Amino acid sequence: MKVYYYKSAKGNFGDDLNEWIWDELLPGFFDGNEDFLFSGIGTIINSVLMPKHKRWVVFSSGVGYGAPPENFGDDNWDILCVRGPLSARVLGLSEDKGVTDGAALLSLLPEFQPIPETDRKGVVFIPHHKALQSGLWEEACRRSGVGFVNPEDDARSVIHRIRQSKLVLADAMHAAIIADAMRVPWVPVVSSNHINTFKWVDWTETINITYKPWILGSSSLRESVRNKSLRLYGDCYFMNESKPDVVIDEFYRMKVYKSRRWWPLYESLSRAVFYKFPDKILAFVERFFFTAFNERYISSAAERLAEAARFGGQLSDEDVFRHNVKKLNDLLVKVKSRSDKKE
């Protein structure tokens, strides 16, 4: 069996921890056999990312960016659990399959045991990795006095930054998930409309917390232009409403919309016209007129970060968290037996 996960070209800590967490939880188990794949942490249950004609074990993966593979749930699939109740529902699974995100299992590893609050310090902001494409969040953090953590850095390094902090401002969902596992208070924030409400609500429902994010706005002109164009080519995933039924209805609506035959061509053309071409022009202009174009965006983003840092943060109830971890761990024990039966 081989661990399968999304690999960003520049790295993304929430996905990259798949590279080692499962080997540490199940030492010596994964042998690299690509005919039998293990789908772990990440929003990868869709027809684009998952190879066809493979046997799968699904363990805490989630839905969020597209329709599942056509054969999802047939004899080639062994679905132990998914990220949350929204994923379970749109996949036609029983409610008990929606456990929580597998990154909660970090709490079982000796290296990542929570640090006493008295030994932690500072506030950090961890943006979604796509926010680095055109945002100036490192400068906004510098002005606000908030520590900047690059989501493209080594996963272990990012996790240690989280566990050593007093508060995490989480634009990247796994910043919040890992902070919760480290028992570090966190505040959900939104840098753009690319932030996926479905994913967040899917997870927060498993810890009995209502998703109410703090809106940061854009940190540069380029980021603002990108944010305004997202809806035009189907990359707008943020919703003002976080009620599960409403979020699921919107997921179905976009699923139907993107299933139309003309969608791939339309998406490609509109992305080029409304985002890629303007972004190249703005990137060129930005080199010569940085201050004039971006000063007000950076100042506003820094102010919003400082306000979010004063919010105080939240944590899941300890009993709820431990219950979820126990359920995940009990299911993880079954992974090896499932593999043995299918060999």
| CB contact set of 17 (below 8 Å; sequence gap of 6+) | 41, 103, 106, 155, 156, 159, 174
Report the relative pairing of strands 167-170 and 123-126 from DSSP bridges: parallel
pLDDT tens over the chain, length 343 residues: 999 999 999 999 999 999 999 999 999 999 988 889 999 999 999 988 898 777 999 999 999 998 898 889 999 999 999 999 999 999 999 999 999 999 999 999 999 999 999 999 999 999 999 999 999 999 999 999 999 999 999 999 999 999 999 999 999 999 999 999 999 999 999 999 999 999 999 999 999 999 999 999 999 999 999 999 999 999 999 999 999 999 999 999 999 989 999 999 999 999 999 999 999 998 888 777 666 789 999 999 999 999 999 988 999 999 999 999 999 999 999 887 766 544 4
* pLDDT value at residue 291: 65
Give the torsion sign (CA, 23, 181, 332, 173).
negative
* pLDDT value at residue 12: 97
Token pair, residue 69, equals 């593979």
Q: 139 in helix, strand or coil?
A: helix
Scanning the chain, the segments in alpha helix (DSSP H) are: 13-16, 18-25, 85-90, 137-144, 155-163, 173-181, 197-204, 221-229, 244-258, 263-271, 277-286, 290-309, 318-342
Crossing angle of helices 197-204 and 173-181, in 10° steps, is 20
Q: Provide the terminal-to-terminal Cα distance of the chain, rounded to the nearest Å.
A: 10
* pLDDT value at residue 54: 78
- Closest CA relative to residue 244, chosen from 28, 78, 88, 74: 88
Integer angstrom CA distances of residue 337 from 41, 86, 105, 223: 20, 27, 19, 48
* pLDDT value at residue 338: 67
